[in-house]
């Protein structure tokens, strides 16, 4: 009977469809609340677990050196930057992930952040809670979305879903993605541009790239300096794509109208961090991918691929070799 460990089970319990799938395969599920490294090692070794399902846990070489039994690591998500894939494979453990899950959910959240930033929703609500009744001088300047230029950095599934939604508001759409040819971008009604032109020409910039050596710190001081005054920046991809020190300096200069952030370089965001308190920042706790539908999908697709590998079959979504 194969055994599968689930981390962060207190936050992300598996849905009924996944539980049935495990039962049908004769697999035993061991739940770990949270993702404490020592507890993960202790549980995996005690149970001689064949596989682990990972949400927030960091599975790196030092942790893998303390574990003997794992054959499969299932990342319940699209990004796998917290898993040392090379170290896992060198130790005989295959790694699977769930690309493209919850695209609609993240796109919905992205547009919610764009609206909140452009319409001063958070600051207006905070003022009311504090007993104030702010007028336009306190809330503005505000702009309608129709005719405003939205620049999409990255043009994968989520960015395309954002583009579909933003088109409904009458926004002018541009995108930059070195991995997608211009003809493909243009065929969706979005104008392809280079990165510099996107920075200079956008009223709203939305980030949709994976974290890699090429994208880490992509939004640095030079990138912020290239933006026009009053730009709105939204990031629902990975926190480290944005240089937060450069972002804070730019906020202090007053050149950004607002920032919508769902991801941060350090998570949870430390208490007292200036991104928690700046009134121009609309911050959410890395929750863009949360919906009942998305969470059911991500868990079940990861479970299905883990079980395929444990049964000696081909997985649908192996993490690509680099």
User: What are the tens digits of pLDDT across the range 170-217?
Assistant: 999 999 999 999 999 999 999 999 999 999 999 999 999 999 999 999
Query: In whole numbers, what is the pLDDT of the chain averaged over residues?
Result: 97
Least confident of 77-81, 92-96, 150-154, 303-307: 77-81
Question: What is the reported pTM?
Answer: 0.90
Q: What percent of the chain has pLDDT over 70?
A: 100
Catalytic residue status for 308: no
Q: Is the pLDDT of residue 322 over 70?
A: no
- The answer for residues whose C-beta is within 8 angstroms of residue 190's C-beta and 6 or more apart is 152, 155, 163, 173, 174, 175
pLDDT at 321: 83
Catalytic residue status for 316: no
Alpha-carbon distance 64 to 41, whole Å? Answer: 9
pLDDT tens sequence across 124-148: 999 999 999 999 999 999 999 999 9
Catalytic residue among 21, 109, 208, 238: 238
Using CA atoms in the order 156, 159, 164, 169, what is the torsion angle rounded to 10 degrees?
-170
Catalytic residue among 266, 267, 276, 316: 267
Domains within the chain, CATH numbers bracketed: 3-101+291-310 (3.40.50.720), 103-283 (3.40.50.720)
Catalytic residue status for 66: no
Give which of 152, 291, 170, 176 is closest to 235, Cα–Cα. 152
Average pLDDT for 287-314: 97
């Amino acid at each position: 009977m194969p055994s599968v460990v689930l981390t962060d089970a207190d936050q992300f319990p598996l849905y009924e469809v996944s539980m049935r799938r495990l039962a049908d395969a004769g697999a035993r599920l061991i739940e770990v609340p949270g993702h404490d490294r020592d507890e993960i090692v202790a549980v995996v070794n005690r149970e001689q677990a064949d596989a682990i399902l990972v949400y927030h846990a960091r599975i790196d070489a030092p942790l893998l050196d303390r574990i003997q039994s794992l054959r499969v690591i299932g990342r319940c998500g699209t990004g796998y930057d917290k898993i040392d894939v090379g170290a896992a494979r060198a130790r005989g453990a295959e790694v699977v992930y769930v690309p493209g899950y919850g695209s609609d959910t993240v796109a919905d959240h992205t547009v919610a952040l764009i609206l909140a930033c452009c319409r001063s929703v958070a600051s207006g609500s905070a003022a009311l809670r504090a007993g104030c009744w702010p007028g336009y001088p306190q809330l503005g300047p505000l702009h309608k979305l129709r005719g405003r230029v939205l620049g999409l950095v990255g043009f994968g599934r989520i960015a395309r879903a954002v583009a579909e939604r933003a088109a409904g508001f009458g926004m002018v759409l541009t995108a930059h993605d070195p991995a997608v040819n211009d003809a493909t971008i243009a065929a969706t009604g979005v104008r392809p541009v280079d990165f510099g032109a996107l920075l200079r020409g956008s009223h709203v910039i939305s980030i949709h790239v994976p974290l890699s050596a090429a994208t880490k710190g992509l939004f640095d001081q030079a990138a912020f300096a290239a933006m026009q005054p009053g730009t709105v920046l939204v990031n629902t991809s990975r926190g480290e794509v944005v240089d937060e020190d450069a972002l804070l300096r730019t906020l202090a200069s007053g050149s950004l109208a607002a920032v919508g952030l769902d991801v941060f370089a350090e998570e949870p965001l430390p208490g007292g961090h200036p991104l928690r308190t700046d009134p121009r920042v609309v911050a959410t706790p890395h929750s863009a991918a949360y919906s009942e539908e998305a969470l059911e999908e991500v868990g079940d697709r990861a479970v299905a691929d883990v079980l395929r590998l444990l049964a000696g079959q081909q997985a649908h979504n192996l993490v690509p070799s680099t």
